[in-house]
Structure 1
Amino acid sequence: MIRLFKHYLPYAVLLLGTIDFVILLLAAEAGWLLRLWQVGVDAGDSGSRVANMLVFAGTLQVAMVAVGVYGAPALRSVRFATARLVVAVALGIILLSLLFFVFPPVAFWRSSLLYATWIALFVMVAVRTLLRGVLSGARFKRRVMVLGAGARAARIEALTRAEGAGFTVVGFISMNDGPPAVPGAANRDDIASLPAHLLRLGAGEVVLALEERRNALPLNDLLRIKTTGVEVHDFSSFIERETGRVDLDSLNPSWLIFSDGFSAGRRLSSWGKRLFDLTVSLILLLLTAPLIAVTALLVKLESKGPAFFRQRRVGLYGETFEVIKLRSMRVDAEVGGKAVWAQKDDPRVTRVGRIIRKLRIDELPQAWSVLKGEMSFVGPRPERPQFVADLEARLPYYTERHVVKPGITGWAQINYPYGASVEDAREKLEFDLYYAKNYTPFLDILILLQTARVVIWPEGAR
C-alpha cells in the first residue's frame, strides 16, 4: 500500500487507475481522429485537443471512483467490474454534458464522444480480463511475518481470508506470551537468527501482535529486524491500515496520543472545508428546492402531520443542535418522545418514506444545517442525545467522534450498512474514529465521490 494524504491505497488500485487514465486519454483522441477521418477533415495538431482529452479522462475516472470500479469485488470479478464500468460511463456522460454546457471550449462532438466512450469501455474491460489474475494475485500482496500466535495473530490470519486482502502472512512466530491460537506457529526459541529467518521467507514487514506487551517486548529482536530494512508495525496501526478503521479491542490512550493523527495542521483544511460547505449547501438548496417541495407534498398527502420534522442531535464538541429532515415515519413513531432504534423493514416507515430513504431525499433539508455551520457534508452521523448518553457509557472513546463536525455522509456511512443497535454503533465508531484521526480534504473528496455508490446501490438503507 501507498500512503496518500494520510490514507492508504493499494498498489493494484493505483496501477489500474493509472492504466485507465491513459486508456481514457487515448480513447478520447481516437474518438476525435475517427470522426475527423469520417468527415474528411485534417486532424491537425493533437496538442489543441489536450484540454478536451483531460476533461474526458478526468470526468470518467471520477465517475469510476464514485461507483466503486476500484473496489475489491471489481478487482476480482471481470463481470462485476464490467457492470460498474457501464454505470460509470453512463454517469460520466451525464457529468460531461453538464461540463460541456458550462464550458463549451472543452466540448466533444456527439459522435466523437460516442466513439471515445465505446473504445474506452471495450479496452478497459479487455485490460481487466488480461490482468485479473495479476491484480488479485500474490504479486501485489505484501509478505508479512507476525510476531505472536495468540488471539491477535488469529485476527490477522482471518484478515488474510477477507475479500481484497492486500497482504499474505508468510509465518507466525510464537513469542511465548500466552496460549497459541494459530496452528503451525514456529516457536521463537527454535529460531537461531530471526532476521535471517525473515529474509529466508521473503518477509518485507513484521507485525507485533503480542497478547501482553508489558515486560515482554522483544526489543533485541525488533532492533535487529529494523536494522535489516524490514518494516515493523504494531498491531493497532496494522489493523487501522488494512481495514480503514480504528480497532477498539486493542486501542489504548497512549496509541491515540503518540500515533500519527488528529493533526493541528488541518486548520487551513478546515477553512477550505467550511468554504466548500457554504458554497455547495447554498447551491444544493437552490437546485433541490422543487424536489423538496414536491416530496413534502407527497408526505403530507400520504399521512397526517408535518412534512418536515426537527430533532435534537449532538454535534461538534458535544454541543446539540436541531436537524431538519423530510418526515419518513408516522407522526406517532415514538410514543412520549422516547428515542427508539430503527429496525429492518421498520413498520413505522411510510410508503413515501421508504422511497425517499433509499434515495436519500429525506436528507436534503440537512443542507440547511450545513449552511448554518452546525454540520458538514462529510463527518460522523449526528446522533440523538439519548443515544449518545447511552453509547458513551457503553463504548470507550465514543466522545472522541465529536472532535469533528457531524456530516450528511461519512466514512462509516459508505463502509458499513445502516446500523440500529449498540453493536452496530460500535462498528461504526471504529470508522468514525478513523475519519476523525486521519481527516484530510482528500479523504473528504473520496467519501463524497463514493456516496454515489451508496445512493445507486442503497445497501442497508432504512
Structure 2
Amino acid sequence: MSDHSNNNNSWHLSIVERKFLLLWCDFIIVFGAIFLAVILRSTISMDLFLQRGYFGIIFLYTSLTVAIFYIIDLYNIFLIDFWTSIVPRIFIGVALTSLLVIVSSFFLEFLALPRKSIVFMSVVIILGMMLTRYYLMIVKRYPLNIMVLGSGFAALKMIEDIKKSGSAYFHIIGIYDDDDRKHGKEVMEIPIRGGIESFAADIKELRPQMVVVSFEKEIKETWTDILLQCARSNVQVSSAVDIYCKLFGKVPSDHIDALWLLSGIQLIRKPYFIFKRFCDIIFSLIGLFIMLLIFPFVFVIMKITSPGPIFFSQVRVGLNGSHFRIHKFRTMVVDAEKRTGAVWATKGDNRITAFGKFMRKVRIDELPQCWNILKGDMSIVGPRPERPEFVDMLKERITFYDERHLVKPGLTGWAQVLYPYGNTIEDATEKLHYDLFYIRNMSVFMDMKIILKTIATVIGGRGGM
C-alpha cells in the first residue's frame, strides 16, 4: 500500500473531478439506454423525434435519474466494497429509474414502453454503470492517494482497518509528523516520511487527492497554512475521524469528543423526525396486523411445545434514559433467569425453546414491539434497547455509551445489520461504534437502507440467535 510504483500509474484527478467523471459517464449511459429503448420500439421517425422535442424530455429524465443516483450515494468515492456497497445501490437506482419511466408513460405516450424495452433499458444501465466502476476501481486500480498528517490514534486505526479490508483503492503514500524521532520509521509498513518540509515537497511531487489530519496535540499554524494551500489546489483535507466514519460506517469512539458527536446530531432537521414518526405509525400498524394474522398459529404451537405465557415483557432503557416495558413473543423457557439473574443470551443457549429458535431466526418474536413503536417508546430504526442492568454496567466501562440514548431505540438498527450477535464488553463496544455512526448520520435514506438490509437478513435466515 505504500509502494511508490502504485503512484506512478495513478489517476491524477481530484475527488471532485472523479465524482464528475462518474456522473458524466452515468449520464451518457442512462441517456443512451432510454433513447435506444424508445427508438427501437417506436414507429416515430428521427425527424419527428427531433421536431417534438423528445430529446429534451429524455435529457430531463436522464438528469432526474442522475439526481436519484446522487441521492442514494452512488458518487461517494469512499464506498470501498464493489459488490456489497456499489452494486446494490446501482440496482436500487435503476429500479427507481424504471419506476419513473413507467409512471411517466401515463402522461407521455412515447415513454409507454413494453416490459421487454424496460428490461432492456434497465440491463443496459446496470451493465454500463457496473462496468465503468469495475474498470476504474478494480481493473485499472486507480488508487486514491492519501497523505496522513500526524500519527494520532484515529489515523492509525484508519490505516489498520484499510489494510484489513484488503482494498487496493486507497493508497497511503506516507505519514508526516513533527516528531523527529519518528522520521524514517514505519507504522504498519507505511513510512513516516518526515516533517513539514517533506510534506510540502511531496505534495507537489506526488499529487495526492486527499490529506488526512490526525495530530495528537493542537495543530501548528505552519501546518494550517500549508493545508489551506492544499484545499485551494483541490486536495481534500479531512480529519481522520471523519474519513474513518465514511469508510467503515462506524465511529471510533475512543478518538472523538462529545462536541463532535452532538454537533452532528443538531444538524438533523425536525422534518426528518416528523416524517420518521409518520412512517413508524404506518409500519407499526402493518406489523400489528401481521401479528394478529399469525397469532393463532403462535398460540397453538407455544402451548403444545412450551406451556406458559405467550408474551414476554421486560424493562428496557429508551430515549434520554427513560425506562419502558418492551413486549415480545416468549422464546425462552418460563423463569429463564430465576437462578442466573440478568445475563446475555449465548450461542446454543439451552434456555431458548425449539420454537423460540425458529421465531428468533425469522424475527417474528419481535412483532409485539410494534405496539411499543405505535406508543412512541421505540422507532422502526434505531439502536436496540438494552436492559437497565446492562446499561449501568456498560456506561461505566465504555466511553459515550450513554449517548446512544439520544435517540429512540429501534426494532432494527445499523449495528444489528452490520455486526453479528455478541455477548461481551468488546461486542458492546463495537456495536456502539455503529450506533454512534447512525446517530450522527440519521436520514431517510439511511433508514431505508437499514430496513432493506434487515429484510435481506431475515430472508437469508441470518436472524437473531
> TM-score per shorter chain, which class?
0.7 to 0.9
Aligned equivalents of 2:24 and 2:198: distance in 1? 41
Q: What is the one-letter code of the residue matched to 1:221?
A: W
1:433 aligns with 2:436: yes
The yes-or-no answer on 1:235 pairing with 2:271 is no
In 1, the alpha carbon distance for the partners of 2:16 and 2:31 equals 23
Conserved 8 A contact 1:27-1:117: no
Look up the match of 1:461. 464
After TM superposition, list the pairs within 5 Å mapping 1:183-194 onto structure 2.
183=189, 185-189=191-195, 192=197, 194=199
2-side partners of 1:299 and 1:11: how far apart? 60
Which amino acid is 1:233 matched to? S
Deviations along 1:189-213, one digit per CA (max 9) or x if unpaired, are 5x63633421211113222233x31
Give, in whole Å, the separation in 2 of the partners of 1:285 and 1:152: 44
Matching residue of 2:368: 365
Match of 2:7 in 1: none
CA-to-aligned-CA distance 1:99-121 (integer Å, 9 cap, x gap)? x9x99969xxxx94366336634
Using a 3 Å threshold, how does the CA distance of structure 1 residues 273 and 195 change in structure 2: closer, same or farther?
same
Which residue matches 2:217? Answer: 213
Closer, same or farther: CA 35–320 of 1 in aligned 2, 3 Å = same
Match 2:254 to one of 249, 254, 257: 249
Q: Specify the SS of the correspondent of 1:261.
A: helix
TM-fit CA distance, 1:244: 1.8
Shift of 1:446: 2.7
Aligned to 2:5: none
Retained in 2: the 8 A contact 1:174–1:185?
no
Q: Who is 1:6 aligned against?
A: none
1:302-381 equivalences in 2 (<5 Å): 302-336=305-339, 338-381=341-384
Aligned to 1:249, the other structure's residue is in SS state: helix
| Distance across 2 between alignment mates of 1:116 and 1:129 | 20
The residue aligned with 2:455 is 452
- Cα distance 1:145–1:367, how it changes in 2: closer, same or farther (>3 A)? same
Question: Who is 1:393 aligned against?
Answer: 396
Q: CA deviation at 1:131?
A: 4.5
Which amino acid is 1:236 matched to? Answer: V
Q: What amino acid sits opposite 2:442 in the alignment?
A: Y
Mark the runs of 5 or more structure 1 residues left unpaired by the alignment: 1-8, 38-42
Give the 3-state SS of the residue equivalent to 1:192 in structure 2. Answer: helix
Aligned to 1:200: 205
Which amino acid in 2 is paired with 1:160? I
8 Å Cα contact 1:379-1:411 kept in structure 2: yes
**Which residue number in structure 1 is paired with residue 274 of structure 2?**
271
After alignment, is 166-175 or 117-126 more displaced?
A: 117-126
Question: Shift in Å at residue 361 of structure 1?
Answer: 1.5
Shift, 1:429, TM fit: 0.6
Q: Secondary structure at the match of 1:301?
A: helix
Contact 1:297/1:307, CA 8 A, preserved across alignment: no
1:134 equivalenced with 2:136 (yes/no) = yes
Partners of 1:357 and 1:10 in 2: how far apart?
A: 45
> By how many angstroms is 1:370 displaced?
0.4
Distance 1:391 1:181, change over 3 A: farther
**Separation in structure 1 between the aligned mates of residue 198 and residue 186 of structure 2, nearest angstrom:** 24
Give 3-state SS (helix, strand or coil) of 1:383's partner. coil
Q: Which runs of 5+ in 2 are unaligned?
A: 1-14, 44-48, 108-112
In structure 2, do the counterparts of structure 1 residues 72 and 348 end up closer, same or farther at CA, with 3 Å as the change threshold? farther
Q: 1:221 to 1:151 in 2, by over 3 A?
A: same
Alignment of 1:15-164 (within 5 A): 73-75=81-83, 112-113=114-115, 116-117=118-119, 120-121=122-123, 124-125=126-127, 128-129=130-131, 131-136=133-138, 141-149=143-151, 152-161=154-163, 162-163=165-166
Q: Is the 8 A contact 1:141 1:168 kept in 2?
A: yes
1:34–1:340: structure 2 CA closer, same or farther, 3 Å change rule?
farther
Percent of pairs identical after alignment?
33
Relative to structure 1, is the Cα distance of residues 371 and 113 closer, same or farther in structure 2, using a 3 angstrom cutoff?
same
What SS does the aligned partner of 2:253 have? coil
User: Could you give the per-residue CA deviations for residues 140-181 of structure 1, whole angstroms, max 9, x where no partner exists?
Assistant: 653210123465544333233315576321222233187555
Contact map agreement 1:194 1:221 (CA 8 A) in 2: no
C-alpha offsets along residues 391-411 of structure 1, whole Å, 9 cap, x if unaligned?
111111111110100001112
Bigger drift between 307-316 and 145-154 goes to 145-154
Normalised TM-score (structure 2): 0.74
Q: State the alpha-carbon separation in 2 of the partners of residues 16 and 362 from structure 1.
A: 44
Kindly tell me the number of residue pairs found equivalent between the two proteins: 427
Give, in angstroms, the shift of residue 35 of structure 1: 7.8
Q: Is the 8 A contact 2:384 2:409 kept in 1?
A: yes
Contact 2:320 2:407 in 1 (8 A): yes
Q: Cα deviations across residues 364-409 of structure 1 (Å, max 9, x unaligned)?
A: 1111100000000111000111111111111111111101000011
TM-score between both structures, scaled by the size of structure 1: 0.74
In the alignment, which residue of structure 1 is the partner of 2:224? 222
Distance in 2 separating the partners of 1:138 and 1:219: 39
Shift in CA distance, 232/104, structure 1 to aligned 2, threshold 3 Å? closer
TM-superposed deviation, 1:33: 7.9
Name the residue aligned to 1:3. none
Indicate if the aligned counterparts of 2:154 and 2:241 stay in contact, CA closer than 8 A: no
Whole-angstrom distance in 2 between the partners of 1:172 and 1:420: 37
Q: Which moved more, 1:171-180 or 1:371-380?
A: 171-180
Compared CA separation, residues 264 and 134, structure 1 to 2 (3 A): closer
Q: Deviations over 1:297-324 (max 9, x none)?
A: 3233321112221111110011111111
Between the aligned partners of 1:328 and 1:177, the Cα distance in structure 2 is: 60
- 2:89 and 2:256 map into 1 onto residues whose CA distance is 39
What is the CA distance between 1:127 and its match in structure 2? 5.3
Question: Separation in 1 of the partners of 2:104 and 2:346?
Answer: 46
Task: Give CA-to-partner distance per residue, 1:258-294, whole Å, 9 cap, x none.
Answer: xx40216522321222122112211332244212442
